Amino acid sequence: MKSPSKRRTMMYFILIMVSVIVLSIVSTRIWGGKPEQPIQLDRLIIQPDMTIARFGRENALPDQVLKEIFDLKAKSDLEKKLDEYGSTEEIRASATKKLALASEKATKNWIKIPVKFGLWFVFLSMVFLGSRKRKMTPGLRKKLLFASVLIFGVIMGSDPGPMGTVKDAIHLYGTAHAIFPPRMIALSIFLLLVVLANKYICAWGCQAGTLQDLIFRINQTDRQKAVMGRQIKLPFIFTNTIRFLFLGAFTLGAFLWAMDIIDPIDPFKLFKPLHLGLFGGIFLFVLFLSGLFIYRPWCHLFCPFGLVGWLAEKISLVRISVDYNTCIACGKCAAACPSTVMEAILKRNTFVIPDCFACYTCREVCPTESIVFSTRKRTLPPADHFNKVKKAPEGGL
């Protein structure tokens, strides 16, 4: 089969990026209505001698929101002074919390969310069941990734997504000490999926994750060799340290300064590109471009769900494992794995196993079909198993 050329790979990359941006603008317009952008909570105007009605006018708050904040019983209560409800700080805290929740509620599209979860359920089940019947191939993988980007990103939009559930939950609690119950339900569903089947949601359902994966795969031949430049595997200790520090910085920013340091560079915003600034646009272009050479750079270096999911992955019921009775220690799976995880599973010389995205590449290349994605327990390789390997393949053992 003819190998793709460098020029064709670059052309695909540009085509994918441009189509995602243009089609997402059209799709966001069609969905319309919901701004999906929360109210600015740090600019509340509060003076103790204000009436509630004036507080509402100054901050452009509807009566319904005022009713929730101040527990108003009658219209005449709007003329009460704010200082009857406590100190400025107490009112600010209570107003901020209730406003934050009202804002969350108002900015969500309550039709789209259940539809998207339903589609996730159908799509992930189809991939899971389909891959039990037939082997994943590079071509089929690209088609599935493309379909996922199109359905869950372009058509269904940036919200909800697995990352947002962790990021926004931390930010909301840090800035307003509020918990938005629907988000916690969504987060629980995503984590439950990880506990059930590894990072299946990240592998095949997350709009930002599948886009990065697709970009990485268009720079590969069918034998997992890079078409353009070199595809490198960053050491897990490096990527996970950055991911920990980044989540720490994000959490500190939210709790201490009510900042959201992810917002300007959020890769999910590629599916609502009009909300991206110049800096964010440049950052994301560089990020996705680097995705041609590094597997899922956002997932490995920055994503809060990536980190939380990696922890939850430790108790996944269904995951990749190797049958060492039939494994011939050729190391092809570790070489083909886009990250360092298969090498860690095989050698078990590291304390931690990196993120496995359940991409099936290792299973696809194994010549003895010794790799399965099932509930089978991962076992340690026999002590001398890999001494049989004379020369490891490139990138492998």
State the Cα angle at 335 between 331 and 338, rounded to 5°: 140
At residue 81, the 3 state secondary structure works out as strand
Pick the closer one to ligand SF4 by CB: 87 or 241: 241
Which residue carries 């804002």 as its tokens? Answer: 103
170 sits near ligand SF4 (criterion: CB under 6 A): no
DSSP annotation of 226: B
Q: How far is the CB of 378 from ligand SF4 (least distance, A)?
A: 11
Segment interacting with ligand SF4, rule: CB under 6 A, options 52-60, 75-83, 235-243, 304-312: 304-312
Interface residue with ligand SF4 among 38, 160, 162, 253 (CB under 6 A) is 162
**321 bridge partner residues:** 372
Nearest Cα residue to 274 out of 15, 36, 14, 13: 36
Segment interacting with ligand SF4, rule: CB under 6 A, options 59-67, 71-79, 298-306, 380-388: 298-306
Phi, psi angles (nearest 5°) of residue 20: -60, -45
**Amino acid in the structure at residue 170:** I
262 sits near ligand SF4 (criterion: CB under 6 A): no
95 sits near ligand SF4 (criterion: CB under 6 A): no
287 sits near ligand SF4 (criterion: CB under 6 A): no
Interface residue with ligand SF4 among 50, 322, 356, 397 (CB under 6 A) is 356
Interface residue with ligand SF4 among 50, 299, 353, 366 (CB under 6 A) is 299
Here's the x/- map for ligand SF4, 187-206, by CB under 6 A: it reads as ---------------x---x
DSSP annotation of 225: -
Interface residue with ligand SF4 among 247, 361, 395, 396 (CB under 6 A) is 361
Peptide bond into 338 cis (omega under 30): no
Contact between 171 and 247 (Cβ < 8 Å): no
Residue 220 structure tokens: 């590969």
Pick the closer one to ligand SF4 by CB: 98 or 296: 296
| Residues sharing a CB contact under 8 Å with residue 2, sequence separation 6 or more, in sequence order | none
156 sits near ligand SF4 (criterion: CB under 6 A): no
Tell me, by CB under 6 A, how many residues bind ligand SF4. Answer: 25
Largest pairwise CA distance in the chain: 86
308 sits near ligand SF4 (criterion: CB under 6 A): no
Measure Cα distances from 259 to 97, 267, 330 in Å: 16, 18, 49
Q: How far is the CB of 132 from ligand SF4 (least distance, A)?
A: 14
Which residue carries 């209505």 as its tokens? Answer: 33
Here's the x/- map for ligand SF4, 334-353, by CB under 6 A: it reads as ---x-x-xx-----------
Nearest residue to ligand SF4, by Cβ distance, number only:
209
Question: How many CB atoms neighbour CB 375 within 10 A?
Answer: 12
Binding site for ligand SF4 (CB under 6 A): 162-163, 202, 206, 208-209, 296, 298-299, 303, 305-306, 309, 320, 337, 339, 341-342, 356-362
